[in-house]
Every structure is written in structure tokens, then in C-alpha cells.
């Protein structure tokens, strides 16, 4: 049985304000929830599941719900067996001086942001700096796109100009439409790759601090690439 | 002024059945509509726009609407100035024996399919073969993700096993989790790259016909990459 106040609570977590106040986020579906349940730096708060879901860890209290109740709780168009509320992951303090990182300048679509976090995780990047006007990684849509990577990638929000100015000793790469051809860049072991807003790109103030503009050579006629796709392409060439 | 029957007609085009019967599709927003209006192989059928939209071609009849009317017509959560109905693009008969193509085996998310079409266009790929259970490229969400590339990339639907069996003389690459490392593959001038379903990958019957399995090396811990991101990464390495 699900109470009205439980439904209201879960729905309130669609808003950043309430997620921040509570320090929690919502994940849905057996694949993502199953992966997050195994993350050592996440604590489960609530778990709602259909009777036939068999992924519950032994010690956890599962609130069994029927399909119509799950539908009332779910933010998905097709609810998928299980919905969990987790406390936000804990991470060690970020270290920007070692390894390669991402800097996101105004990635506004939560799906794009979540996909970028998943890509970062694939390429072994554990720290992402995002401008405060970027989407929240704990937004339900972003969480679904991260496919569980949210427990492994630390997304830190702040002012990218201040951040980059404070790390001007690092090689700072920027994904742009007119820069050095990606194939000529080679491997990058240290520094940051800056990815800009989906339609406006990187802000001039941020761009001024980037030392190395990179471009994915275009063969055909599309005007641009999706921001997450561009991130994946560049990382696949410079990480390794 | 927008009539009830106009609203009903536009909404019906959210369904493949009606799009196919009418041979049309809907595009929204100044950027995509603006680009599609310039495509030589597309014919405009209807154009609804706010008063302040200034992108209308001289000879076209614009139906001026107010924001609440556009909201009634729009499939977007935030309607964006203009909505157009186009006839589906006309293409020359596909030629699969020359150049590199994509084969999509069960790409079910319209956003992923549209993003893949945009990526194909960026890398100069003008022909995509998609299994009949893939998303429809004229689905409104797919159209928004193509960002205008739908007029330049011919997406042909059919049975991928029959298609590949009929083109077994071509080099047939497949994006898989266990294959040859992408960096070792080199440039590919001719053939097809097969991309599988978002969660299940390529069907065994299709996989059996692929001669060259390719893998994007994983450095970190994400279980997989988004299908569109994987497509972009592989193409960025083998096209050029």
C-alpha cells in the first residue's frame, strides 16, 4: 500500500529544491536500481517494487506495490518494476591536478548531462565540473541516462571561469567547431576537456581560458553534433 | 485562428499510421523548420507560427497563431515559435554497394534514432537501413533529434537479415562489447556498420552475418555506452 504522502514525497523529488533539502534522489528500473544497490558509496532510503521483482538485497525493507501504485509514483512513461530513493553518493574531495576531467559549460538537457556522465565513467573519468546553470545530475531524467554511473562520477557544480582560472597550469581543451583536428591531438593524460551548451557552445569568458581548441572533422552536412556524442567522440580519441 | 480539426490533424501525426497514410511529418522550432524549408527534396504542407517568427519563405502561407494555440498544436513541452507539416522527403533509389552505410537493428528510442541520423549526416553517410522494429525516423521526437538531417539521410526500413544476406560481399562491421579494438580497424571506405538495440544489442541472426566485430575499448566502469554515442565514436575512427 502506498499512501498519498508517499506519492507526494516521491513526486516532490522531481524538483531540485526538494532533492537538495533531503539529500536524496530517485532511480527507477531493475537495471539502474540493481547497479546502484551495489554501489559502496550510496545508501538506500526507500524501495518500492512490484511483487515479481527479485533484485532486493536481503537486509532491505521493500514496500511492495501493484502496477497502478507504481504508476502513481513513477516519473517514467512506462514504469519499470522498481523505484528507489537513495541518499546522494559520497565522494572523496576532488583532485583536479591528476588525470583528465570534464568541464561542462551550460549543458541544459538532463538526458545529455546524464549521458555525458555515463561516457565519462566509460572512459575512466571520475570528476566532472559543471557550471551552475547546467542540468542537475540528480534530476530523474539525468539519473536514468547515467545508467548507474552517478555513483562513480563526482559532478561538482560551480563557476567554470573561476574554476579554469584557478587551474590555468593544466592543459585546457575545448570542443569547438573551428579548432585543431581531433586526429592530430594525440593522447591526453592530464587536464580538462570543456564541453559547451547544446546550441550556444562555450561561453566567450570560458573559451578565453581554454588553451587548446579541438574540432571533430565534419565530412557531411549536419550543422553540429549532439553535445554528448561530441564528448564521446573526443574522449575516444584522447583517452587511452 | 486554429480550428479543432487542425489541432486533431496535427496531433494524429504523432502516430505512425497517420503519418504513413498522409505521407507527411511534423517539425517544430525555428532552427529545424528553417533548415527543412531550404531542403530541395521537401515540400511544405502547413506552417503555423507566432507573429514574431520571421523565417517564413516569401511564397508560403503562414497560419499565424498565438502562444496558447501553438501550445495546443505542439508536441514539445516548451513550444518554440513555429510548427510545420512537410511531405516526407524524396530520395534517389538507394545504392548500398558504394560507400559506408549504417544498419540499425532494433533502435527503439526515437531520440536515439534521430541522433544517429544526425551523426550519419555529419560523417557523410546518406543511407541507413533500419529493422522494421526500429523507431520511425518521422516520429516527432526523432525529427527533433535529427536537427534537420532527415532531408539528407535516407532511412530505409526492412528485414536486416535479408538485407545483409543480400550484401554479403560487403565488409559488414558490428558494434559489440567483445570484438576487435576500434583503434586497430583503420579507415573503412565501403560496407556497413551494424548498431544493435539499446539494451539487447545485435540479434544473433543478424550478428551471424557480420564479418567484423568492433569494440570501443573501455577504460572505466560503465557497463555500456548509449547506442548513438557508440555510433558516433566508431564513425569518427573509421570515416575520413
From CA B157, how far away is CA A111, in angstroms rounded? 27
Judge residue B107's burial from the number of C-beta atoms within 10 Å of its C-beta, 0-12 exposed, 13-18 middle, 19 or more buried: buried
- The mean per-residue pLDDT over the stretch B182-196 comes to 96
Region for A140 from its dihedrals, namely left if φ exceeds 0, alpha if ψ lies in -120 to 50, beta otherwise? alpha
Question: How do residues A41-82 score in pLDDT, each as one tens digit?
Answer: 999 999 999 999 988 887 778 999 999 999 999 999 899 999
Number of H helices, E strands in chain B: 9, 10
Does the structure show a pLDDT above 90 at B56?
A: no
Contacts of B54 (CB under 8 A, 6+ apart): none
Residue of B nearest to A145 (CA): B226
Question: How do residues A135-153 score in pLDDT, each as one tens digit?
Answer: 999 999 999 999 999 999 9
Question: How do residues B145-155 score in pLDDT, each as one tens digit?
Answer: 999 999 999 99
- The mean per-residue pLDDT over the stretch A33-39 comes to 95
- % residues pLDDT > 70 (chain A): 100
Label residue B219 by pLDDT band (50, 70, 90).
very high
Label residue B173 by pLDDT band (50, 70, 90).
very high
Compute the nearest-CA separation of A237 from chain B (Å).
8
Higher pLDDT, B120 or B78: B120
Question: How do residues B91-147 score in pLDDT, each as one tens digit?
Answer: 999 999 999 999 999 999 999 999 999 999 999 999 999 999 999 999 999 999 999
Helix H or strand E segment including B196 = strand B191-196
| Contact criterion met (CB < 8 Å) for B222 and A126 | no
Compute the nearest-CA separation of A78 from chain B (Å).
13
Instruction: Select from A80, A101, A201, A226 the residue whose CB has the most chain B CBs within 10 Å, as the one to mutate to test that interface.
Output: A226
User: Considering the entire predicted model, what is its pTM?
Assistant: 0.95
Please tell me the predicted confidence (pLDDT) of residue A158. 98
| Domain chopping of chain B, boundaries | 4-87, 100-238
From CA B22, how far away is CA B225, in angstroms rounded? 36
- The mean per-residue pLDDT over the stretch A206-228 comes to 96
- The mean per-residue pLDDT over the stretch B28-35 comes to 95
Higher pLDDT, B237 or B60: B237
From CA B50, how far away is CA A158, in angstroms rounded? 37
Judge residue B87's burial from the number of C-beta atoms within 10 Å of its C-beta, 0-12 exposed, 13-18 middle, 19 or more buried: middle
Please tell me the predicted confidence (pLDDT) of residue B76. 92
Q: Which of B115, B126, B221 sits opposite A226 (nearest CB)?
A: B115
Per CB-CB distance under 8 Å, the chain A contacts of B147 are 222-224
From CA B120, how far away is CA A134, in angstroms rounded? 27
Fold classified for B100-238: Alpha/beta knot (3.40.1280)
Please tell me the predicted confidence (pLDDT) of residue B145. 96
Fold classified for A4-87: 60s Ribosomal Protein L30; Chain: A; (3.30.1330)
Contacts of B19 (CB under 8 A, 6+ apart): B13, B25, B88, B136, B138
User: Can you tell me the ipTM of this complex?
Assistant: 0.94
Per CB-CB distance under 8 Å, the chain B contacts of A118 are 222, 225-226
Please tell me the predicted confidence (pLDDT) of residue A203. 97
Give yes or no for a contact between B64 and B179, defined as CB atoms under 8 angstroms apart.
no
Mean pLDDT estimate for chain A: 95
Amino acid at each position: 500500500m502506498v499512501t498519498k504522502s508517499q506519492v507526494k514525497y516521491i513526486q516532490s523529488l522531481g524538483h531540485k529544491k526538494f532533492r537538495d533539502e533531503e539529500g536524496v534522489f530517485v532511480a527507477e528500473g531493475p537495471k539502474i536500481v540493481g547497479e546502484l544497490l551495489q554501489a559502496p558509496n550510496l545508501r538506500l532510503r526507500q524501495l518500492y517494487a512490484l511483487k515479481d521483482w527479485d533484485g532486493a538485497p536481503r537486509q532491505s525493507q521493500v514496500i511492495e506495490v501493484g502496477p497502478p501504485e507504481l504508476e502513481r509514483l513513477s516519473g517514467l512513461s512506462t514504469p519499470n518494476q522498481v523505484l528507489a530513493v537513495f541518499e546522494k553518493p559520497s565522494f572523496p574531495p576532488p583532485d583536479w591536478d591528476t588525470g583528465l576531467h570534464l568541464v561542462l559549460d551550460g549543458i541544459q538537457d538532463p538526458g545529455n548531462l546524464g549521458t555525458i556522465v555515463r561516457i565519462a565513467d566509460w572512459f575512466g573519468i571520475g570528476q566532472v565540473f559543471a557550471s551552475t546553470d547546467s542540468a542537475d545530475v540528480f534530476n530523474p531524467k539525468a539519473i536514468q541516462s547515467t545508467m548507474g554511473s552517478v555513483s562513480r562520477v563526482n559532478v561538482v557544480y560551480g563557476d567554470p571561469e573561476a574554476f579554469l582560472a584557478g587551474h590555468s597550469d593544466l592543459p585546457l581543451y575545448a570542443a569547438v567547431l573551428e579548432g585543431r583536428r581531433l586526429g592530430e591531438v594525440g593522447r591526453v593524460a592530464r587536464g580538462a576537456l570543456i564541453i559547451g551548451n547544446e546550441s550556444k557552445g562555450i561561453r566567450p569568458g570560458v573559451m578565453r581560458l581554454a588553451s587548446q581548441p579541438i574540432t571533430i572533422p565534419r565530412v557531411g552536412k549536419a550543422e553540429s553534433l549532439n553535445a554528448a556524442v561530441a564528448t564521446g567522440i573526443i574522449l575516444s580519441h584522447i583517452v587511452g
